[in-house]
Structures are given as structure tokens and as C-alpha cells.
Amino acid sequence: MRGHKNVAIVPEDCSSGISLQADSRVNNQRTRVYITLELPSSVEVAIQQFCSTHRCNQVCNPEYILLYSNLTGEEKFASNNARRLTSFALRSVSTFQAVLDHNNGSNPIVPPPSDNLGKFFSDVKTVLVGAGLMAIDDTNTLKLQRKTSV
């Protein structure tokens, strides 16, 4: 809290009970920026983590950056997190503003792009084989790649 370190990497299992806010009782009163590299599995856990940078007796509000992929399910989950953060901030009488832009809005299903040639399954097969999740056997059949330990 003296300002010697500018970055704190906090894994999910260590996030409860720590205090990272810009407290008025310490020298380092810079604005905190909280960047999530992976959103927790529940909104409640996310709020618990975000609260380590947003507490009473702080001199400035933190900034939250939610990183997520463009998968519709993850966008919707990130949107829920942002909405909860907004309501949390309003309850604590702060000027926090959560803004989350995503392409699909509240519609979970979107039409395919107009330039799509309809090779979805072929493309998925290529990606799954390339990632090592599936393999093509001698009979040219797609098989799930399973790693086993003895």
C-alpha cells in the first residue's frame, strides 16, 4: 500500500479477505484498475473479488475492466457482472459507471454472417483436430482424443 508495486496478481482462491482499495490512511492513493483475465463462475464470486478494490474510506473509485471473448454466453455473463457492479456501486453511493458493449444485446442467438458458406461442421472439425481435442483414425472417423494416465 506504500506504492512500491504497481501490479497485484490475485488468483481466485486468494481473493477473499484482501484489501486493495485506495484508502485515505495510506500514502498510495492512486486510482485502482481491476482487470479480470477470466470471469469467475458466479456473479457472487466476482462481486466478492471486485470488493477488494471498492471499500469504504476510499479516496477514489476503482476502474473495472472485464475481459471476455465474443462468445454469446460469455458476453451475457459479463453483462450480468457489469450490471451487478453498477447496482453495487449505486448502493455504496459512488459515481462508479459500468459500461459493457457487446454485439448481441439481449438476444442470445444471432444469424450467421452473410458471407458464411455453410461449412460450419467442416470448420469445427478442423479446429478441434488442430487443437488436439479430436483425432481422425485410420477409417477417417473423428474420435475424441483422450489422455489417460496409468
What is the pLDDT at residue 5? 65
Reduced to 3 DSSP states, what percent helix, strand and coil does the chain have, rounded to the nearest 5? 30, 10, 60
What backbone torsions phi and psi does residue 34 show, to the nearest 5 degrees?
Answer: -105, 115
| Span of 24-33, 44-53, 105-114, 120-129 with lowest mean pLDDT | 105-114
**90 and 117 housed in the same domain:** no
List pLDDT tens digits, range 84-99.
766 655 444 333 334 4
Do 92 and 36 belong together in one domain?
Answer: yes
Residue 20 CA: distances (Å) to CA of 23, 67, 73, 86, 94: 8, 20, 30, 19, 17
Q: Both 91 and 133 in a single domain?
A: no
The reply to whether 88 and 118 lie within a common domain is no
Same domain assignment for residues 89 and 138: no
104 with 140, same domain: the answer is: no
Give this prediction's pTM: 0.46
- What pLDDT shows up at residue 79? 76
How confident is residue 52, by pLDDT bands cut at 50, 70 and 90? low
Within this chain, do residues 78 and 36 fall inside the same structural domain, yes or no?
yes
Gap between the Cα atoms of 29 and 59, Å rounded: 7
**% of the chain at pLDDT higher than 70:** 52
- In this structure, the answer to whether residues 46 and 115 fall within a common structural domain is no
Same domain, 148 and 93: no
Contact 37, 15 (CB under 8 A): no
Same domain membership, residue 129 and residue 90:
no
Same domain, 27 and 99: yes
Same domain, 149 and 89: no
- Average pLDDT score over residue span 25-33: 75
Q: What is the pLDDT of residue 90?
A: 45
Number of domains in the chain: 2
pLDDT band at 34 (very low <50, low <70, confident <90, very high): confident
Strands 33-36 and 63-66: parallel
Q: Per-residue pLDDT for 102 more than 60?
A: no
Over 50: is that where the pLDDT of 49 sits? yes
* Domain range enclosing 41: 1-110
The whole-number pLDDT of residue 148 equals 44
